[in-house]
Structure 1
Amino acid sequence: MTLKVKEPVWIGVDVGTTGVRATAYTATGKAVATTEAFYSLETPQYDWAEQNPQQIYDAVEEVVKGTVAELQYKLVTISGLALSSVMHSFIPQDENFQLLGNMMTWADSRSAAIVRRLELDPKCKEFYFNTGCPLHACYPLAKILWVKEHQPSIFDRMARIGSIKDFIFRNLTGEWVTDKSVASSSGLYNAHKECWDEEILDFIGISKERLPEVVSTTYSNTLLADVAQRLGLPTGLPVVIGATDGVLVNVGIGAVSAGQLSCTIGTSGAIRMLTEKARMDKNQRTWCYNLTDNMWVAGGAINNGGIIMRWMRDRILHLHGSQMEQLDVDPYDLMTMKARHVPAGSGGLLLMPFFTGERAPYWNSDLRGAFIGLSLNHSRSYMIRATMEGICYSLLCVLQALRDFEDVKDIRVSGSFTKSELWLQIMADVFNESITLPTNSEGASFGAAVLGFISDGTLKDIKDTATLVTAQEVYTPKVANREIYNELFKIYESLYANMKDDLARLVTFQQEHPFNRL
C-alpha cells in the first residue's frame, strides 16, 4: 500500500565535503524522503585537499534519483530541486568547460605561503572590507594565485573559473551562472557593490569574463531533458541554484531573528548570525556572505571539528572497520560513553585543535594541533573529552567576535555532533549560554528547500521558518563546569598567543620533511 503525501515538496540537495544528501521537504518543514551518498577527499601532497567534480556530480544524480524513486512510491508531487553546497571550492576549466585539474576544496592550504605575502601588503589587507573575506588559503582568491605561480600553463588556459555549485547547476540545466552566496565567499566579490571586484581581479590578473554571471540565490532554470529522464523527473522541472551550506543552516534550523545564532559541528564547524546588510569586523576576525537579496550572514568557520573526532576514532582508538560493524556498535557512541566518565576540564588536559591550520578568528594556516598538559594519569578517555572541549574553545573564540555585533539571545545547533548529549552540554558550559537542539538539525538541505518554496511563492521570506522549527531540547550551562572552563579558556588563549610562532616553525619543518601516514 502506498502512502500518499498531499503537500508538494522541494528536494533540497546538500553537497557537503565528503557526502551529498537529497531530502524532500514540505513547506511546513516535514522531511518526506532522503538519500545520501559519499565520496573521497584526496590529499596527494602536503596541504593539498582535492576532489573530482565529476565524481561529486555523479553522486548528486545518484541521491536525487534515489529520493525521487521513494517519492514516486508515495505519490508525492515534486515542485523542483534546490541546491546547497560547500564554500570556497575552485575548479579550473577551459573555454569548453573541460576540467583542467581537480577541484581545490576549502581545506586545501597549499597557497598559505602566498597568503603570508599578501598579509604584508596594506592594500591586500584592505580587500577584506570590500569582500567580507579575510586573507586565507581557503578562499579561491589565493588558490587562483597559486595556479598562476605554480601552474602557469593551466592559468593561461583557464577560461572558466568555477565552483562545485555552478559545475552542478550547469550539468543539471546547461546554464553557467553562480549565486551571490558562492560569489561572496570567494574573496573576489564586492559585498557593497554586489558584483565581481574589479580591483581584486586586476590584482590577480584575471578578467570578469572568466567568471560566471552572478544571480540571486532564488534564481532557477529547468532541468535538461536527458538529465530529467535519467533522474525520473518531468521535463521542465525547475532547479533553484540556492546558496552555500553555511548560510543555509540558519534558515533550516529557524535561527532567523535578531540575536539568534546557529552553531554547527560537522567535518569543520561554524557560528553564524543573520544581518540585513554586509557587516565587517574591524579586527577582521569574521566573514560575511550573502544569503538572499536582502539578507547576509556574518560568522566564522573553524577548520577542525568532527574531522578531529574521526582522527581520534581511527588513529588513536582504532574504532573502525568490520569489527565495529560486527558488534553493531557506533564508535562515536562508545567514545561519548568513555568521555562521560571524565570530569569537566579533562584533568587539565587541553587540545589545541589546529590539525589543518585555522580559519576564524585567527586566519592562520601555519598552525598544527597539540595536546597540552598530558600526564601519566591521563588516558584515551581524557583525550576524547579534551577533544570535544578543545573544539568548543575554538568556537568560543568566534562567538566572542560575533558578540561585538549583537547580543546573543538564542544559539541553535546542527550537524553530526548533536547526536552526543555530552558534547551539547559541554558546549553550553564552555559558551555559558543555553543551547537549543531544534527538531530539524540537518539545516542546509531544508534551507535549500526553503529557497525553492520562496522561488515559487509558497513562502514569502526566510523568516517564515521561525515558526516551523521548534526546540527538541535545551541545554543550560552548569555553574560549576562554567567556572572550570572559564579558567581553562584563558589558558587556551594564552597558549595560542605564545605557541603560534613555534607552530609555524613546525609547519615549515613538516613541509621540508614530508612524511607518510603509517
Structure 2
Amino acid sequence: MLNFGNMHNSVWIGVDIGTTGVRAIAYQKNGVNLCDSNEFYPLETPYPDWAEQNPEIIYKATEKVIRDTANTLIYKGIPVSGIAISTVMHSFAPANEKRELLSNMITWADSRSVEIVNELKKDIKLTRNFYEKTCCPVHACYPFLKILWLKKTFPDVFSKMKYIYSLKDYVFEKLTNKWVIDKSSASASGLYNAHKMDWDEDILSFADIRKEQLPPVVSTTYSQKLTPDAAQRLNLPKGLPVVIGATDGVLVNVGIGAVKPGQLSATIGTSGAIRMLTKNPKVDKKNRTWCYNLTDDMWVAGGAINNGGIIMRWMRDKICHYNSRRLDDIDIDPYDLMTLKASKIPAGAEGLLLLPFFTGERAPYWNSELRGMFFGLSLNHSRSHMIRAAMEGICFSLNCVLTALKDFGKIEDIRVSGSFTKSTLWLQIISDIFGENITLPQNSEGAAFGAAVLGFIASGEMNSISDTANLIQSKKIYYPQKENFLTYKELFDIYNNLYQKLQPEFTRITTYQNQMYK
C-alpha cells in the first residue's frame, strides 16, 4: 500500500511536460504555489512536416525541475507527499524487444503521414467509423497515423517494433519501473475505443499491431512508488507516490477551475486549444472536434490548433531578429517588446491578415496540407503590423474551434491559461475576436495544478475535480470592445473565405515543398 504521508498538510509536485519545456510546481491543496522550476528543450524540425524530440533530453530536464523543486522544499522544511504528471499529447516512438527506442519521439506537430491521411479520407465511411469509435478525427497528429506511416516508410523498423511508447509511459516507467499508460493519453492516440474504454481491436488490426505491444491502460489517478534509483537522483524519499496523471490539454480545465457546465478553457502556449468538460464522449457531426478522457467518469471535448506561441517564436527569431543576449543586457523581454510594438497598431492591423498554418492544422479543419500566409500586405505595413496580425490570426484560428463547440451547449464563462496570459494586449484581442468576456484566473498554470489535483484525489484529500471550482478565483475579466469586435467580425469572414478558396493551392504548395527534400 502506498504511503501518502500527512494528508492534512500535503504538498504535491505537479509536473507539466510540454512541447518545448517542462515545469514542476509544488502545490498545496488550496492551489497555493510554494515554489517552481523550469527547463526548456528543442523541438527538432529539420524539414517540412518533421517534428521530433529526443525523449532522454526531455526526461533529464524533467528530473532537473523535480529535483530543484524538491531541494527548495527541503530548504523550507516542507515534506513532499507525491508527484503527479501531465504530458503533451499524441507522441509516439517504437521500441525493440529490449525496450530500447528505435527513433526519436515523433510529436503531435509531425505531419509526415499526411499522404496516408488523404488516402484514408477518401473512404468517408471508414474515417467516420474511426472517429465515432475513438472521438479522434483522422489526422497526422495521432499516433495511429504515425504507426501507419512507419509501416509504409520504414518497414524494417516497423518489423523490429515490439513495444509502442508515448512520452507519458516513457517518463512514468523511468520513475517507477512500471510500464502503463493513463486513459487520457490512450484516448488521445486514435487507437483507443472511447466507449469500451480499451484499445480498439479493429483499429489495431488495421494498423497491423497487437494489444501486447501497447501498455496496459490505467486510471489517471493510478499511482506507483518512486524507485530507489530515481529517488536518489531527485533527492526525494524512495517509495514516494507517483500519480500517472493525464494529458496537459484536459488538465488545464481542472487547473483553472473551468469544471462547471458552460465553462470553457482557452489556452495558447506553443499550440492552442479550447475545451469543455462533458460526462460522456462527444462527437461532432462535422468531425471538427475531439473528446479525450480526464477521469473515469469525466471527458473533455474540444479542439486544438497547431500554431500558437510557436508562431510568435518564429516572429521573434525570423522576422524581428531579436537577439536574447543583447536584449538581456538592457533587461527587456523580447516578447514584451513585440507586444509593445503591436499595441501601437490598431485592431485589424490595418487590413493585414495572417493564416497561421505553419505546421498544418488540427481543429477544426484537420488538414496537414495547410501552410501559413500573410494576406493584404501593402507598403504601409511594418514588422509591428505583422506582429499584431500574428496575434490576431492565432485568435481567429481559435475562434473557428469556439464556433464548433457552441453546438455542444451554451457558453457561460471562458477562462484562459498559458503563456499568452502574460500579455494584456493579447487577452483583449481574444475577447474582442470572440465577442465574449474572458476570465483570467489567479492561477494560469492550469496543467501543473491539474496534475497536482489528481494527486490530491489519489491521496483522498480531494473528492473530485469539481473541488477546484471554488479554489481558483478571478484575477481580471476582459470585456469585448464593440468597435474592435465589429472590425474583427468583418476580417474573420475574409479569413474563413481564404481558407475555403485556397484549398487546392495549399495542397500544391505543400507537395512542392515536400518534393524539395526527397
Q: If the length of structure 1 is used for normalisation, what is the TM-score? A: 0.97
Name the SS for the 1:436 alignment partner: strand
Q: How does 1:183-194 map to 2 (within 5 A)?
A: 183-194=186-197
In structure 1, how many angstroms separate the alpha carbons of the residues matched to 2:419 and 2:258? 18
Letter of the structure 2 residue corresponding to residue 70 of structure 1: T
Name the SS for the 2:34 alignment partner: strand
Aligned to 1:71: 73
Letter of the structure 2 residue corresponding to residue 109 of structure 1: S
Kept in 2: contact 1:95–1:159 (CA 8 A): yes
Kept in 1: contact 2:324–2:334 (CA 8 A): no
Aligned to 2:234: 231
What 5-or-longer segments of structure 1 have no aligned partner? Answer: 1-5
In structure 2, how many angstroms separate the alpha carbons of the residues matched to 1:235 and 1:355? 45
In structure 2, how many angstroms separate the alpha carbons of the residues matched to 1:267 and 1:213? 30
Give 2:434's match in structure 1, choosing from 415, 422, 431. 431
Q: How far apart are 1:377 and its partner, in Å? A: 1.1
Name the SS for the 1:404 alignment partner: helix
In structure 1, how many angstroms separate the alpha carbons of the residues matched to 2:284 and 2:459? 35
Aligned to 2:116: 114
Root-mean-square deviation (CA), in Å? Answer: 1.2
In structure 2, how many angstroms separate the alpha carbons of the residues matched to 1:77 and 1:319? 42
Deviation track 1:142-172 (CA, whole Å, cap 9, x = no partner) reads: 1001110111111111111010000000000
Letter of the structure 1 residue corresponding to residue 168 of structure 2: K
Kept in 2: contact 1:8–1:76 (CA 8 A): no
Name the SS for the 1:318 alignment partner: coil
Identity of aligned residues (%): 62
Matching of residue 412 in structure 1 with residue 411 in structure 2: no
Matching of residue 506 in structure 1 with residue 515 in structure 2: no
Kept in 2: contact 1:261–1:273 (CA 8 A): yes
Give 2:488's match in structure 1, choosing from 461, 480, 485. 485
Matching of residue 148 in structure 1 with residue 151 in structure 2: yes
In structure 1, how many angstroms separate the alpha carbons of the residues matched to 2:25 and 2:372? 35
In structure 1, how many angstroms separate the alpha carbons of the residues matched to 2:504 and 2:329? 46
Kept in 1: contact 2:414–2:438 (CA 8 A): yes
Q: How far apart are 1:514 and its partner, in Å? A: 4.1
Kept in 1: contact 2:342–2:385 (CA 8 A): yes
Matching of residue 48 in structure 1 with residue 45 in structure 2: no
* Most deviating of 81-90 and 58-67: 58-67
Matching of residue 274 in structure 1 with residue 313 in structure 2: no
Aligned to 1:172: 175
Aligned to 1:3: none
What 5-or-longer segments of structure 2 have no aligned partner? Answer: 1-7
Letter of the structure 2 residue corresponding to residue 261 of structure 1: L
Deviation track 1:198-222 (CA, whole Å, cap 9, x = no partner) reads: 1101111111010000000000000
Aligned to 1:376: 379
In structure 2, how many angstroms separate the alpha carbons of the residues matched to 1:298 and 1:345? 30
In structure 2, how many angstroms separate the alpha carbons of the residues matched to 1:236 and 1:512? 52
Matching of residue 385 in structure 1 with residue 385 in structure 2: no
Aligned to 1:367: 370
Give 1:255's match in structure 2, choosing from 241, 254, 258. 258
Give 2:30's match in structure 1, choosing from 17, 21, 28. 28
Aligned to 1:342: 345
Aligned to 1:7: 9
In structure 1, how many angstroms separate the alpha carbons of the residues matched to 2:308 and 2:517? 24
Aligned to 1:93: 95
Letter of the structure 1 residue corresponding to residue 95 of structure 2: Q
Kept in 2: contact 1:357–1:365 (CA 8 A): yes
Letter of the structure 2 residue corresponding to residue 7 of structure 1: N
Q: How does 1:191-340 map to 2 (within 5 A)?
A: 191-340=194-343
Deviation track 1:221-274 (CA, whole Å, cap 9, x = no partner) reads: 001111111211111110000000000000000000000000000110000000
Name the SS for the 1:25 alignment partner: strand
Give 1:123's match in structure 2, choosing from 123, 126, 129. 126
Letter of the structure 2 residue corresponding to residue 323 of structure 1: R
In structure 1, how many angstroms separate the alpha carbons of the residues matched to 2:475 and 2:440? 6
Question: Structure 1 segments of 4 or more deviating over 3 A?
Answer: none
Kept in 2: contact 1:9–1:77 (CA 8 A): yes
Name the SS for the 2:476 alignment partner: strand
Q: If the length of structure 2 is used for normalisation, what is the TM-score? A: 0.97
Kept in 2: contact 1:37–1:63 (CA 8 A): yes
Give 1:133's match in structure 2, choosing from 121, 132, 136. 136
